[in-house]
Structure 1
């Protein structure tokens, strides 16, 4: 049985369908999943056979004449998400059915031939990628300020929540605590690698702690700069002299756009790496206390069998839990008819003390879902129910 099911509907060309499917296949491969087994992609003909228990989302390609209209209408009636999508220049109102026009559409970009943004949006809808889209920009103000500001604005316009120290720390807040808090909640770090980047202990700490948390790094190397081998394992963009409009930026528009696409693709790899790290630690702790991992379900839920033979469902999450995250986990557990209260598992390292206190309060007062630190999973689960 597949855990996730998608559909490509409307009027896609054969090339559209192939490219989107190939991009989805690459992204789910980051999670160790395969197309056709863990994830199934339907068309209009096969959609009636979909497993209604699986997490599901569809993309509707606008076109003339309108295709798969009744299939799309049935999906909307079932309250499943449908993303209307059009190519550049297509009139949204003329090529998308009226009952889909209230949904926010996605205009595919000419520079995104692999449809990375659309693939990401579909995987967000089924819960494989988290909906928060967070990027941390690490840079030396004296060398790359203009480029950092440019990327902040460009990424924000593409739906990312971007952390830039000069923009996103409120007056009076503890600077470093907030900075580390935002770093551990990021999907990707963009490192603007300039000649003096490693001269600052703060940027050295940023790159080191990003790697410690298994956050993927996109290294943007300044022209004629010889980078340190310490970051050789990072994804890399080399800038030419013509890519910079000034010594500290901004970056040429086409190059900046390509950087955004690299971030979009790198994001799934980063989330997958961190998710697998948390699940690996959880498995090790559960086995230490005599329990076992029994099954993997939709929405990345994990069935744990404890020593007293009780089964509970754990939901490892990447980043910082919020009340909204707890509600989301409780809702998914309820729809899956899980009898025990679900367990949200998270990595607390780097989270502000004030936020940890807030999570503790939520855990004490919201009994529909429990939250535990992955570093304390075995200790906590050994006394579960007592």
Structure 2
């Protein structure tokens, strides 16, 4: 990926981005030489190829190149301190583009900018999604606080109390959304083990390869019976201290889709529930979610890609990795066939792009994980995608048994 940066290398905000972007690329386990960062200088465009992404902090005499990039439909991220600075800092060619405003994200603006770049580089879906898993009587106020902040930042955020309509099947909709989320944020309060719903959500996320950010709760926020006291250091025992852990700290060191953030002593309000996260803790949590989201989706796609690869080998085919992440090429009946793997349910524009990419005489298919293959919405997706030379192929994920309360 070629990223062209408009700004001086010694500028603190540029230097911070470059370091964080390299770290994020490394976390995706992508070859370091596959990320190329260029600093714009006059005449550079004539010597190098077209960048995948332009990131504009500030520039002099770059209007001609920026205008050309806009005309070509290139991805250009203009970084501004705040909205009022647009008049003085935004070059005329970028005036019609919505800018990245650092003050919207505060202390985690760098993580948010890296997430924006990585999303555009490796993922076809632009809108970030999160699913908040929690025990209602422990952490309802914190869940609502987190939902409000993520929604403000443009996340499509699932919270059971606001995201499921009247008369809808609660369990069905909950698991439907869980399958399609980028990231589960687990509010691991000490009494979480009493919620069978949360156990199901955690079990499903682990089975389906959904990324998870575990928020480690301070015990002293609750008066607990001795039998309910979680035994650290196992996060699994935060989930249920009376059964085998679903998730351990060892998992956090091994599985790149998992991470934890410790908000110990960062609560405000009453000593016991209800209470809320301090602004420092909320910033820390959102920054951790932004750092993990793209990595978790990338890993989920790699998991499914591996399954598809092995399936093709069993069919006697010789799959080859294609240029784009998540793409495989095989021969079907003597003709080239493209397989595109998605880490979430593909949107109509993604299906259209996959279906129309092959040349005449070639074919293609889209693969993703699905927990409700007989849902009417899946049937509608298949109907939209039905055309000669294209197939929509959901991989079915086993659901945990329902029951219990939040």
Work out whether 1:214 is the aligned partner of 2:238. no
Work out the CA distance in 2 between the residues paired with 1:304 and 1:68.
43
Shift of 1:290: 1.2
Work out whether 1:329 is the aligned partner of 2:354. yes
Work out the CA distance in 1 between the residues paired with 2:145 and 2:392.
38
Work out whether 1:101 is the aligned partner of 2:122. no
Q: For residues 272-315 of structure 1, what are the alpha-carbon distances to aligned partners after superposition, in whole Å with 9 as ceiling and x for unaligned? A: 11010111001001111111122321364222234x44221111
What's the counterpart of residue 324 of structure 2? Answer: 298
Shift of 1:163: 0.1
Work out the CA distance in 1 between the residues paired with 2:362 and 2:111.
37
What's the counterpart of residue 284 of structure 2? Answer: 258
What's the counterpart of residue 393 of structure 2? Answer: 372
Q: For residues 162-190 of structure 1, what are the alpha-carbon distances to aligned partners after superposition, in whole Å with 9 as ceiling and x for unaligned? A: 00001111111111111011001111111
CA contact (8 A) 2:124 2:350 kept: no
Work out the CA distance in 1 between the residues paired with 2:314 and 2:389.
27
Stretch deviating more after TM superposition (86-95 or 75-84): 86-95
Structure 2 SS opposite 1:126:
helix
Q: Which runs of 5+ in 1 are unaligned?
A: 377-386
Work out whether 1:344 is the aligned partner of 2:362. no
Structure 1 SS opposite 2:107:
coil
Structure 1 SS opposite 2:167:
coil
Work out the CA distance in 1 between the residues paired with 2:196 and 2:137.
14
Work out the CA distance in 1 between the residues paired with 2:201 and 2:18.
35
Q: 1:351 to 1:118 in 2, by over 3 A?
A: farther
Q: 1:48 to 1:208 in 2, by over 3 A?
A: farther
Work out the CA distance in 1 between the residues paired with 2:39 and 2:331.
37
What's the counterpart of residue 42 of structure 1? Answer: 38
CA contact (8 A) 1:194 1:222 kept: yes
Work out the CA distance in 2 between the residues paired with 1:138 and 1:50.
47
Structure 1 SS opposite 2:215:
strand
Q: 1:142 to 1:207 in 2, by over 3 A?
A: same
CA contact (8 A) 1:25 1:34 kept: no
2:262 counterpart (234, 238, 241): 238
1:61 counterpart (51, 57, 61): 57
What's the counterpart of residue 335 of structure 2? Answer: 310
Work out the CA distance in 2 between the residues paired with 1:25 and 1:350.
38
For residues 9-24 of structure 1, the aligned pairs below 5 Å read: 9-10=6-7, 13-24=10-21
Q: 1:211 to 1:204 in 2, by over 3 A?
A: same
Shift of 1:375: 6.2
Work out whether 1:270 is the aligned partner of 2:296. yes
What's the counterpart of residue 377 of structure 2? Answer: 355
What's the counterpart of residue 158 of structure 2? Answer: 163
What's the counterpart of residue 8 of structure 1? Answer: 5
Aligned residue pairs: how many? 362
Shift of 1:249: 2.7
What's the counterpart of residue 80 of structure 1? Answer: 74
CA contact (8 A) 2:108 2:283 kept: no
Work out the CA distance in 1 between the residues paired with 2:327 and 2:360.
11
Stretch deviating more after TM superposition (245-254 or 135-144): 245-254
Q: 1:203 to 1:100 in 2, by over 3 A?
A: same
**TM-score, normalization by structure 1:** 0.85
Structure 1 SS opposite 2:319:
strand
Work out whether 1:32 is the aligned partner of 2:33. no
Q: For residues 238-266 of structure 1, what are the alpha-carbon distances to aligned partners after superposition, in whole Å with 9 as ceiling and x for unaligned? A: 22344232423321112101111100011
1:70 counterpart (64, 74, 86): 64
Q: 1:31 to 1:221 in 2, by over 3 A?
A: closer
CA contact (8 A) 2:131 2:178 kept: yes
Work out whether 1:144 is the aligned partner of 2:139. yes
Q: For residues 21-49 of structure 1, what are the alpha-carbon distances to aligned partners after superposition, in whole Å with 9 as ceiling and x for unaligned? A: 3322233334431233x232222144444
Work out the CA distance in 2 between the residues paired with 1:70 and 1:239.
48
Q: Which runs of 5+ in 2 are unaligned?
A: 221-229, 238-244, 253-257, 398-406
Shift of 1:50: 4.1
Q: 1:30 to 1:341 in 2, by over 3 A?
A: farther
What's the counterpart of residue 404 of structure 2? Answer: none
Q: 1:134 to 1:242 in 2, by over 3 A?
A: closer
What's the counterpart of residue 203 of structure 1? Answer: 198
Structure 1 SS opposite 2:52:
strand
